[in-house]
Amino acid sequence: MTSKKTIFSGIKPSGDLTIGNYIGAISQWVTMQDEYNCIFSVVDYHAITVKQNPTDLRRRILDITKIYLASGINSKKSIIFQQSAVPAHTELAWVLNCCGAYMADLKKMTQFKDKAGDKQDSVSVGLFDYPVLMAADIILYDTQIVPVGDDQKQHVELARDIAKRFNNQYGPVFTIPEAMVKKEGARIMSLNDPSKKMAKSDENPAGAIALLDEPEIARKKIMKAVTDSGSEIIYDQKNKPALANLLTIHSSLSGESIKSLEKKFTGKGYGDFKKELAEVVAVFLIDFQKKFNKISDVDAKKILEKGRKQATKIAEEKMGKVRGVVGVR
């Protein structure tokens, strides 16, 4: 590896990827490829923290790989690989469970509380422990920067704490990572409920636009999106959270600034704005899906295999050190 800083990030194949994943994560990664050593993973072991259909899971792993490529992740510049193909991730997660992670940390994780709701005693141990596997994913590669949406900041903070504790006990084995969160589009909200994040595993598909949604269906979802009271097109996160979310989506996909959108829609209403946004989203999806459909499963598998070899080399070297300092094989 060169003297460039290292970036690691990933997405779990737990549902169909949304424009939230694209705006908050993938589009940011694309622009970082020249400046950083980039490692992007399809983090499939994270997906099985909740029940998955194996056939769908296998399909989604390839779809995410193709989505990375269609978005502009270049396998000549970046490592693209499937997490479960590099066993060092789960091995390190176990070591960190024992040497670095505390129950109290995990109990504080808001994503766990949101996902488990009132079923905390009957969800899988994996759902509770998933931030430790995420910490392993990150620190295995001496990652310096983790580009994530704002919802994942807390997990990166935890990875830092775990790495520091491990280093305090065993010496300087791991680099301490930092989260990098984009200012705009860091959290795209549900189209039904602006207080909830747009999520790929949302049970109600009307709240999210999937990257592989039919453009006509996406158009209808935008037209049906909830709006706030009043009619003026102004960005006001506090009083007009639904409109603020739609303006962010428009600006992120069209490249037009929110200020210029406010100006363009002065004197016009929500209907006019939604119509234009529906068009912006449909045009984006048509173009994106054209690129996606050009990539075959065979090509995606070849890229994952190349990435597996590259990632294994780095990960095994680090695991060798970890096993040594801990005192196992």
CB count, 10 Å around CB of 103? 9
- Nearest residue relative to ligand AQP (C-beta): 24
- Choosing from 200, 221, 250, 308, the residue that interacts with ligand AQP (CB under 6 A) is 200
| CB of 20 vs ligand AQP, minimal distance in Å | 3
Report residue 93 CA to chain centroid gap: 19
Does 278 help bind ligand AQP (rule: CB under 6 A)?
A: no
Q: Which of residues 153-172 bind ligand AQP (CB under 6 A)?
A: none
In this structure, what token pair is assigned to residue 198? 């747009």
| CB of 36 vs ligand AQP, minimal distance in Å | 16
CA distances from 40 to 29, 74, 110, 125, 151 (A): 9, 10, 24, 26, 18
Does 194 help bind ligand AQP (rule: CB under 6 A)?
A: no
Site size toward ligand AQP (CB under 6 A) is 24
Does 209 help bind ligand AQP (rule: CB under 6 A)?
A: no
Contact 170, 145 (CB under 8 A): no
Tell me the C-alpha distance between 316 and 86, whole Å: 9
Helix (H), strand (E) counts: the chain: 14, 5
Name beta bridge partners: 48. Answer: none
How big is the chain by its Cα radius of gyration, in Å? Answer: 20
Q: Segment contacting ligand AQP (CB under 6 A): 85-93, 195-203, 255-263, 305-313?
A: 195-203
Q: Which of residues 14-53 bind ligand AQP (CB under 6 A)?
A: 14-15, 18, 20-21, 23-25, 43, 46
Does 215 help bind ligand AQP (rule: CB under 6 A)?
A: no
Residue 115 is a catalytic residue: yes
The amino acid that residue 168 corresponds to is: N
Does 222 help bind ligand AQP (rule: CB under 6 A)?
A: no
Residue 66 is a catalytic residue: no
| 151 vs 161 by CB, closer to ligand AQP | 151
Tell me the C-alpha distance between 96 and 256, whole Å: 44
| 100 vs 149 by CB, closer to ligand AQP | 149
- Choosing from 95, 133, 199, 311, the residue that interacts with ligand AQP (CB under 6 A) is 199
Residue 164 is a catalytic residue: no
Tell me the C-alpha distance between 173 and 175, whole Å: 7
Backbone angles phi, psi at 179, to 5 degrees: -80, 145
Tell me the C-alpha distance between 171 and 320, whole Å: 14
Known catalytic residues are 115, 197, 200
| Site residues for ligand AQP per CB under 6 A | 11-12, 14-15, 18, 20-21, 23-25, 43, 46, 148-149, 151-152, 186-188, 197-201
